[in-house]
């Protein structure tokens, strides 16, 4: 009809094709749902829970699943390639249901965690005799120490008792360690690998022989050798990264100052690390880092320390710890100088009090600063944002272009 818009019915073939596609889509969705294992389905569709039992981040929920022994080889996380937008490594929080006779110590070792990590993440469980079928949290995500952001080589963080190996080809690995006990603390500083030895002999230091005269001058390779199967000698005289014949010491401060590793982990590191590789030993109990557009905070409890008389030294107050966390967050924010971040400062206070070593999100990028509001020079931008990755000026201009 003239002057009116006409509405034409679609051809019958189109209707038939649309219906066919609709039914195909419905059947595909239902089939996929039926084929998803129950453990994966539960993880994919479980709501976020920040309660005492389990913490799941939305960005990681699609990768989280319940893990059972036998699903993969035991030991620490395999090397993964670094991502410029991630100031950490790992996949998040997994879970494991306790089987008869299992302890948190055995579960932690299986999944590449030290005793300190597995117990801090599961304070609701008896570490030696957890209830059968209880749900165990398996932390599998770590923020890099600040020193690791501009360092290539080994970084050992004493506060979390964890070693990071950031190789120069971009691959990263991380392993739990045992460190020096009170009075024989592992020293801080920078050193390098000077020697490597498979099946090492232990030349017992005179100070240890004085404490235990029954020890021989040299302990040959074997099950009684505390150095384990491999040893990596450092430029700090008398200090090594080595295996152990007592894996229960990983995640404890029990050594005479050396860095102990699980037998499987020292074998992996031994074959990866070259001579003269840099080794940096730091003590960062509070770390803040970015994972894409999200800012995470990781807080570890401080150990009890004593003075020469044996008196317990006072720990930093909650206010001092909060100030330390604020400084770590401010440094992380400075590494994203051209964005606006929505912060949850109350959650940051809660994490400082909790100090369980599990990274949790405290901030999200909500906007990129407009070009006319950008006051940083290109040189300052390169310094703040890309110190580690050193892009070309052309790449930065492309990024800044609106």
Q: 380: buried, middle or exposed (CB in 10 Å: 19+, 13-18, 0-12)?
A: exposed
Task: Tell me the pLDDT tens digit for each residue of 372-393.
Answer: 444 444 444 444 444 333 444 4
Q: Quick one: average pLDDT of 132-139?
A: 92
Task: Tell me the pLDDT tens digit for each residue of 137-194.
Answer: 999 899 999 989 888 999 999 999 999 999 888 888 999 999 998 888 899 999 999 9
Query: In the prediction, which pLDDT does 183 show?
Result: 80
Sorting pLDDT into bands at 50, 70 and 90, what band is 236?
very high
In Å, what is the CA distance from 233 to each residue of 195, 271, 274? 5, 14, 12
Bridge partners (DSSP) listed for residue 179: 253
Task: Tell me the pLDDT tens digit for each residue of 310-360.
Answer: 677 778 888 899 999 999 999 999 888 778 888 998 999 999 999 999 999
The enclosing H or E element of 277 equals none
Bridge partners (DSSP) listed for residue 283: none
Query: In the prediction, which pLDDT does 182 show?
Result: 82
Q: Which domains does the chain have, with CATH numbers?
A: 32-143 (no CATH), 145-284 (2.40.440.10), 286-302+317-400 (no CATH)
Reply yes or no on whether the pLDDT at 50 is more than 80.
no
d(CA 304, CA 306): 7
Task: Tell me the pLDDT tens digit for each residue of 256-288.
Answer: 899 999 999 999 999 999 999 999 999 999 999
The closest alpha carbon to 232, from 177, 189, 275, belongs to: 275
What is the C-alpha R_g of the chain? 26
Query: In the prediction, which pLDDT does 49 show?
Result: 33
The closest alpha carbon to 203, from 221, 224, 217, belongs to: 217
The closest alpha carbon to 158, from 47, 24, 287, belongs to: 287
| Residues tagged active-site | 242, 258
């Amino acid at each position: 009809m003239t002057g009116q818009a006409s509405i034409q019915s679609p051809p019958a073939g189109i209707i038939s094709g649309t219906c066919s596609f609709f039914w195909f889509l419905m059947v595909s969705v239902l089939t996929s749902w039926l084929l998803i294992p129950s453990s994966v389905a539960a993880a994919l569709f479980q709501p976020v829970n920040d309660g005492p039992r389990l913490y799941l981040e939305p960005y990681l929920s699609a990768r989280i699943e319940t893990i059972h022994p036998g699903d993969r080889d035991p030991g620490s996380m395999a090397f993964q390639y670094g991502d410029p937008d991630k100031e950490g490594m790992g996949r998040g929080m997994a879970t494991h249901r306790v089987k008869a006779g299992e302890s948190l110590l055995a579960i932690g070792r299986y999944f590449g965690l030290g005793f300190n990590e597995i117990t801090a993440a599961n304070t609701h469980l008896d570490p030696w005799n957890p209830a059968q079928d209880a749900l165990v949290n398996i932390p599998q995500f770590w923020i890099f120490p600040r020193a690791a952001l501009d360092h290539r080589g080994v970084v050992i963080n004493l506060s979390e008792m964890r070693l990071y190996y950031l190789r120069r080809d971009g691959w990263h690995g991380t392993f739990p360690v045992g460190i020096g006990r009170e009075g024989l603390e592992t020293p801080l500083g920078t050193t390098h690998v000077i020697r490597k030895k498979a099946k090492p002999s232990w030349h017992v230091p005179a100070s240890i022989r004085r404490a235990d005269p029954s020890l021989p001058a040299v302990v040959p390779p074997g099950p009684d050798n505390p150095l384990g199967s491999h040893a990596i000698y450092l430029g700090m005289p008398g200090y090594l990264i080595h295996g152990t014949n007592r894996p229960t010491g990983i995640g404890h401060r029990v050594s005479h100052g050396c860095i102990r590793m699980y037998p499987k982990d020292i074998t992996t590191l031994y074959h990866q690390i070259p001579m003269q590789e840099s080794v940096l030993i730091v003590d960062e109990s509070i770390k803040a880092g970015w994972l894409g557009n999200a800012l995470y905070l990781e807080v570890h409890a401080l150990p009890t320390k004593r003075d020469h008389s044996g008196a317990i030294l006072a720990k930093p107050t909650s206010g001092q710890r909060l100030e330390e966390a604020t400084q770590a967050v401010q440094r992380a924010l400075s590494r994203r100088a051209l964005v606006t971040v929505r912060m949850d400062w109350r959650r940051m206070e809660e994490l400082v009090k909790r100090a369980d070593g599990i990274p949790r999100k405290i901030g999200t990028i909500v906007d990129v600063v407009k070009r006319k509001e950008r006051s940083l020079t290109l040189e300052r931008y390169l310094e703040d944002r890309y110190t580690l990755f050193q892009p070309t000026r052309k790449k930065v201009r492309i990024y800044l272009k609106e």
